[in-house]
Amino acid sequence: MEISSITSHPFDDQKPGTSGLRKKVKVFQGPNYLENFVQSIFDTQADLKGGVMALGGDGRFYNRQAIQIIIRLAAANGVARVIVGQGGILSTPAASCVIRKYKTNGGIILSASHNPGGPDEDFGIKFNTANGGPAPEGVTEAIFERTKTISEYRIVEATDIDLDQLGIQQLGDTSIEVIDPVADYAELMKQLFDFERIHQLFNSGLFQMRFDAMHAVTGPYAKRIIEGILGAEPGTVINGEPKEDFGGGHPDPNLAHAKEIVKLTSGINAIDFAAASDGDGDRNMILGRNFFVTPSDSLAVMAANAHLIKGYKSGISGVARSMPTSQAADRVADALGLECYETPTGWKFFGNLLDARKITLCGEESFGTGSDHVREKDGLWAVLFWLNLLAVRQESVEQIVRDHWRKFGRNFYTRYDYEAVDKAAAEGLMEHLRSRLSALPGSQFGNYTVDYADDFAYTDPVDGSISKNQGIRIGFSGGSRIVYRLSGTGTVGATLRVYLEAYEPDPDKHTLETAKVMQPLVQIATELAEIEARTGRSEPTVIT
């Protein structure tokens, strides 16, 4: 097998963001762009030489071509074995499962998650370490440093691997093993959840659900597990055929983009339960009959009920949430006498806590929940968790959540996204807020008094690493909060995210409409940051 060394020149924009390197497909298709980044992974991750790596993606446009290129780079860089999902497919949580199960030295996941796909849309690449989790900042920093000085990459000349053929194919000294992308993941889910009970729920004839795969990667997973193994009626999984452009949609499971299931759970003929997942299968949205469960509440409900679920029946060791996620989970942890960790946005920050067994469950307000079963957030896992809970408690989604609020109080929550705003304007806005922080504590805004205001910094309790500038927090006495941060996953301009949380202990007020409750905080948040004056936007692009 002939190995070529190809001369290349560094790109200056290969710094991974919140979750890997994301760019327009056209950028990745450009000469040497993908090759440089992958070679930088091999150059910095010495274990991969002579080692094993997992490889797969969410099936979006350019997935198959990128997989072929990465396999040829892996062979030239002395990787002994590459485990790749059939068709180049692995959902993000399934990739994490495969890395852990086969004890690989890490893996490469191709995805831009919830960002649209297609020739003019987004592509992404991410390296996960041997624990199955997204590489921590130290590793992504090293890869980025390497991309700045790289001068060549190594690649073998070879014909394409047949990605649809299960089994081992040889590329020089490197074995390429094409595996069923669903089997190992389904096996893991069977260990965690009471499949018999969920099957009975489906069989009862009294329960109707739909799962919207949004033409993304979870289609085959959901069909095999929910319809196949658990016996839900055919047609339970909708939009289950993965498409390279996600059917032209935006595979982002929220109220704005997953309209189809919102409709199915609304009105008099509403079904009992619906859920959706995103492009790469790590996000989830949970809906009951005429009822939306905020991701922050979902995490809190899971923590409070984990002991009822097979895989967690001996209890949980602790919880963690990303900083902008509502403090609902904190209240549960408090009641259970457990620690609740507040981490920066991005799943990579949960890895150490999970590895050190400080936490069992974790979540993000951005429709992400997960546990120590893998090291990624896991969309279908969350759906199965809820199904298992519904089967055990024999109550509706709404009853379970309202009961939770009665016990712990309700954290009303909403997020405003201002997408594709001018980058300099967005940075200026954050800078201006930063300059005001020290003067804010004690000031009064309507009924709200500022308790603290800071630029969130995190010290990892396991390895002591420090991450600064992770978002601006303004906390009010009484537990309400405003958080501002700039997105690290977008590919156009900047996206300003404003996260709002209002704590309400009084059960009589739990039936109020979220938008109404949040109104005063919205006004404070937009005025304080001078959003309209600085970005020219009077309204957000998306409200979730």
Cite the active site residues.
Answer: 113
- Amino acid identity at 293: V
Residue 366: name its binding partner from Co ion, ligand VG1, none (Cβ under 5 to 8 Å by kind): ligand VG1
Check binding of 489 to ligand VG1 (CB under 6 A).
yes
Residue 489: name its binding partner from ligand VG1, Co ion, none (Cβ under 5 to 8 Å by kind): ligand VG1
**Residue choice 91, 487, 526, 544 for contact with ligand VG1 (CB under 6 A):** 487
What does DSSP say about strands 444-445 and 448-455: parallel, antiparallel, or unpaired? antiparallel
Angle between helices 33-44 and 63-76 (to 10 degrees): 40
Quote the CA–CA distance of 262 and 248 in Å, as a whole number.
19
Q: How far is the CB of 277 from Co ion (least distance, A)?
A: 8
Q: Nearest-CB residue to ligand VG1?
A: 113
| DSSP element (H, E) containing 340 | strand 340-343
Query: By CB under 6 A, which span of 138-146, 330-338, 345-353, 499-507 interacts with ligand VG1?
Result: 345-353
Quote the CA–CA distance of 491 and 482 in Å, as a whole number.
25
Helix (H/G/I), strand (E/B), else coil: 422: coil
Check binding of 481 to ligand VG1 (CB under 6 A).
no
Q: How far is the CB of 280 from ligand VG1 (least distance, A)?
A: 6
Q: DSSP strand E in 90-164: where?
A: 107-110, 122-128, 152-156
Check binding of 19 to ligand VG1 (CB under 6 A).
yes
With a CB cutoff of 8 Å and minimum separation 6, the contacts of 337 are: none
Q: Residues touching ligand VG1: how many (CB under 6 A)?
A: 18
Residues 206-225 that bind ligand VG1 (CB under 6 A): none
Check binding of 60 to ligand VG1 (CB under 6 A).
no
Query: By CB under 6 A, which span of 196-204, 329-337, 353-361, 483-491 interacts with ligand VG1?
Result: 483-491
Quote the CA–CA distance of 285 and 362 in Å, as a whole number.
15
Q: How far is the CB of 537 from Co ion (least distance, A)?
A: 25
Between the alpha carbon of residue 468 and those of residues 137, 458, 465, the distances in Å are 12, 6, 10
Query: By CB under 6 A, which span of 171-179, 226-234, 422-430, 481-489 interacts with ligand VG1?
Result: 481-489
Q: CB nearer to ligand VG1: give 140 or 366.
A: 366
Quote the CA–CA distance of 384 and 271 in Å, as a whole number.
17
| DSSP element (H, E) containing 218 | helix 218-222
What DSSP designation does 134 have? B
Check binding of 283 to ligand VG1 (CB under 6 A).
yes
Angle at 412 between CA 411 and CA 416, to 5 degrees: 125
Q: CB nearer to ligand VG1: give 181 or 346.
A: 346
| Contact residues for Co ion, defined by CB under 5 A | 113, 278, 280, 282-283
Side by side, the strands of the sheet bearing 319-322 are 340-343, 319-322, 361-364, 368-371
Residue 404: name its binding partner from Co ion, ligand VG1, none (Cβ under 5 to 8 Å by kind): none
For 400, how many CA atoms within 13 A lie in the half-sphere containing its CB? 31
Check binding of 123 to ligand VG1 (CB under 6 A).
no
Check binding of 346 to ligand VG1 (CB under 6 A).
yes
Residues 250-279 that bind ligand VG1 (CB under 6 A): 278
Residues at the interface with ligand VG1 (CB under 6 A): 18-19, 113-114, 278, 282-283, 322, 345-347, 364, 366, 368, 487-489, 497
